[in-house]
Structure 1
Amino acid sequence: MNSHDQHVESSDGTRLALRRLGAGDPVVLVHGSGGGLHSWAAVADQLAPDHEVWMPARRGYGPSDVPPGTKSFAVETADLLAVIEAARQRTGRRVHVVGASYGATLALHTASADPRDIRSLAIFEPPLFAAGPEIAPLLDRYRAAFERDDAPAMAAALHEVTRVPAEIVAALAAGAGDRTPDPVEARRAAIGWLHDLEALAGDSTDIARWSSITVPTLLLAGADTWEPMPTMMNALATAIRPARHLVWTGQSHFVTMTAPTLVADALRQFFAEVSAAQPSSGDPTGTATATR
């Protein structure tokens, strides 16, 4: 299916590149750390026959702007609201917002700050445990490694942030074999990670704050994702009372890449249920039945 690349300007003038495809109710897919325009492609292709899918590259990730200064969730929330507004204006419909990993944390911030144009929220494994002052030393380590272009040291710092078990790190390395990443792409991801860590270090691990969210919410997780993610997802399901909580057996934090059909099917079903409960402008709490 044909896609269209365009830009949206945020409130501070930052230009955000995005890819748009399909037609129908608008869906904004928000990528995680190290991602970009390509991150949601396999899922987007499956949603596009009946949805207009918007995939922005977040600030700090080329070809979007990489502004100077320290990044925060406040500025990224303004970015995402600009994309949501553009999708709402183009289609005349409120927007389904989907976030994965760091992108899920950003989606939570955005739905909490201004839910007016958000029709539903789908959240896949936000690293809410990786925030606040304890991240600051890891940010400093990562920044020092970044400045000397030390990829192994950058990766080591990131593994401490994400708490990926050593055996999974080893399995990923073995799977990569002798392939070396494209240097331009690797540098782009490294810059993005640096700015994401800045925002995480300035954030909080308080999960109770998300109890203010009342839009229909779907929480998604893989049963094989490592702790503390499962415990944190259970806490998030308790905090967001309208939330449904779907856990995929045999899947992990990489499910959007390893099983995109599974993800797309779950999202399509959720969107259909929300649409059935909100036939027009809708009741923002129309799917408040929790299934744990």
Structure 2
Amino acid sequence: MGNRRISAATIGVALVAASFWPARHFHSGRVRRWRRGAGAPGHAGRLGVRVFGHGHPVLALLPGIGASQAFFGAAYDRLGEVATVVVIDPLGFGASMDAGVSSDSFGLEEHLAAITGALGALGLDGRPLHVAGHSMGASLAIQWAAASEGDIRTVVAFDAPLYRNRAEADERVRHMGWFEALLSTGPRAHAMCAWMCRHRSAAAVLAVALNPAMPVAIARDGVKHTWFSYIQSFEAIVAADTWIGAIAALSGRGVSVLLVDGKIDPVPVPGRARELATEFASVTARTHRGGHDLPLASPGWCSDLLYRQVAAA
């Protein structure tokens, strides 16, 4: 009788667990609002890209660390009315993942050169350029725009991790939660990433299971990177302070920089965007309801903002 009670309890727990994922998934606003975006995935230079639209200006969209082109879904298709849109997987992530590269291949200069090379391979580097990014992609957008010799018109940075030192970076990662802090850096993160590289398919299934409120395609793509691409990119783009000079350079050129943070986003340093807007005339700070995934949680609002930025430039 005792064994039967244990078995029944075990089955009950399993049934509750099995029902939890579909309930969370199908009631998730992120899932309901997301569809695959326009344009067939391909490659340009070293990077995976997706290109759509017929407008003369070019709008480059850069997802964050551990994300992919899929992050910018069908809500962003209307941007093709005013620009030729290039959604780019940053070097070492998503369709730009290369497990064979060495550990020193993901510095800032390599990232910037790869973006420039991709736009050049597509024959788009001679047009007016707009760039927008999310999280690590936001910092990368700022720094690529500053380094570019092209006709940069606007930069939009969603949820940008603009840290002045490594201590700030570690502090903000801790604010995201114990799980994110555990897997950000250190031996445990390295071991997890090594297992993921050996068992990529199983890791993709696990990522989907652990993220029921996320569209499946986005959760699955979150494992498409290596330890070297992750940690070197984190150190070079997220934890470094090279963005400071980049914003100063853009301001000196009169390039509009819009910093957009979620009102409850734990990643940006509180007040940092407003400080920069006070210091630099070309910088504007805005907030919108939500956390650290504004382009995914509020795709219509973010798409409208980008549409206005490009159309007005």
CA distance 1:65–1:251, shift in 2 (3 Å) = closer
Of 235, 245, 251, 2:275 maps to 235
Number of the residue aligned with 2:59: 27
Match of residue 185 from structure 2:
139
TM-score, scaled to structure 2? 0.66
Shift of 1:21: 0.8
Matched-pair identity in % = 23
Query: Does residue 300 of structure 2 align to residue 273 of structure 1?
Result: no
Q: Does 1:3 align with 2:39?
A: yes
Counterparts of 2:217 and 2:48, CA distance in 1: 23
| Residue matched to 1:199 | 236
Runs of 4+ in 1 over 6 A off after TM superposition: 133-137, 179-184
Is residue 45 from structure 1 mapped to residue 77 from structure 2 by the alignment?
yes
Residues 99 and 124 in structure 1, CA contact (< 8 A), matched pair in contact too: yes
Distance verdict in 2 for CA 1:227–1:120, change over 3 Å:
closer
Q: Structure 1 residue 197: deviation in Å?
A: 2.3
User: 1:53 deviation in Å?
Assistant: 0.8
1:128 is paired with a residue of what secondary structure? coil
Q: State the AA in 1 paired with 2:48.
A: A
Check the 8 A contact 1:34/1:190 in 2, yes or no. Answer: no
Residues 187 and 174 of structure 1: CA distance in aligned 2, closer, same or farther (over 3 Å) = closer
**Secondary structure of the equivalent of 2:95?**
coil
**1:231 CA displacement:** 1.9
- Determine which of 264, 283, 293 is the counterpart of 1:254: 293
Change (3 A) 1:149 1:174: closer
Asked if 2 retains the 8 angstrom alpha-carbon contact of 1:84 and 1:117, the reply is no
Given residue 67 of structure 2, which amino acid in structure 1 is its aligned partner? G
Aligned mates of 2:217, 2:150 — CA distance in 1: 41
* 1:135–1:200 contact (8 Å) kept in structure 2: no
Asked if residue 114 in structure 1 is aligned to residue 148 in structure 2, the reply is yes
Q: CA deviation at 1:229?
A: 3.1
Q: 1:218 to 1:43 in 2, by over 3 A?
A: farther
SS in structure 2 at match of 1:236: helix
| Runs of 5+ unmatched residues, structure 2 | 1-36, 171-181, 198-208
2:48 alignment partner in structure 1? 17
Greater Rg, structure 1 or structure 2?
Answer: 2
> Once the two structures are superposed, what CA deviation does each residue of 1:190-241 show, in whole Å capped at 9, x if it has no partner?
6553443242477227746522213122221222223653322223323442
Distance in 1 (CA, whole Å) between partners of 2:38 and 2:168 is 44
What residue in structure 2 maps to residue 81 of structure 1? 116
Q: 1:209 to 1:186 in 2, by over 3 A?
A: closer
Return closer, same or farther for 1:205/1:115 CA change in 2, 3 Å cut-off.
Answer: closer
1:128–1:205 contact (8 Å) kept in structure 2:
no
Corresponding residue for 1:166? Answer: none
Q: Give the 3-state SS of the residue equivalent to 2:71 in structure 1.
A: coil
8 A contact 1:208–1:239 mirrored in 2? no
Aligned match of 1:128 in 156, 159, 162?
Answer: 162
Relative to total residues, which structure has the larger helix share, 1 or 2? Answer: 2
**Letter of the structure 2 residue corresponding to residue 238 of structure 1:** T
Which segments of 5 or more consecutive residues in structure 1 lack a partner in the other structure?
Answer: 10-14, 151-172, 275-292
- Structure 1 residues 257, 183: closer, same or farther in 2, change over 3 A? closer
Contact 1:2 1:21 (8 Å CA) reproduced: yes
* Backbone CA RMSD of aligned residues: 3.5
The alpha-carbon distance between structure 1 residues 17 and 234, as it changes in their structure 2 partners (threshold 3 A), is same
Question: Could you say which residue in structure 2 is the equivalent of 1:154?
Answer: none
1:188 is matched with: 224
CA separation of 1:135/1:129 partners in 2, compared to 1, >3 Å: closer, same or farther?
A: closer
Structure 1 residues 181 and 189, CA, compared in 2 at 3 Å: closer, same or farther?
farther
Counterpart-to-counterpart distance in 2, 1:54 and 1:247: 25
Give the Cα–Cα distance (whole angstroms) in 2 for the partners of residues 43 and 83 of structure 1: 24
Counterpart residue identity of residue 241, structure 2: S
- Report the secondary structure of 1:246's partner residue: strand
Residues 37-88 of structure 1, C-alpha deviations (whole Å, 9 max, x = no match): 211123432312332110111111132242222321111011122234456x
- Give 1:130 shift: 8.0
Aligned partners of 2:155 and 2:258 also within 8 Å: yes
- Say if 1:125 and 1:253, in contact at 8 Å, map to a contact too: yes
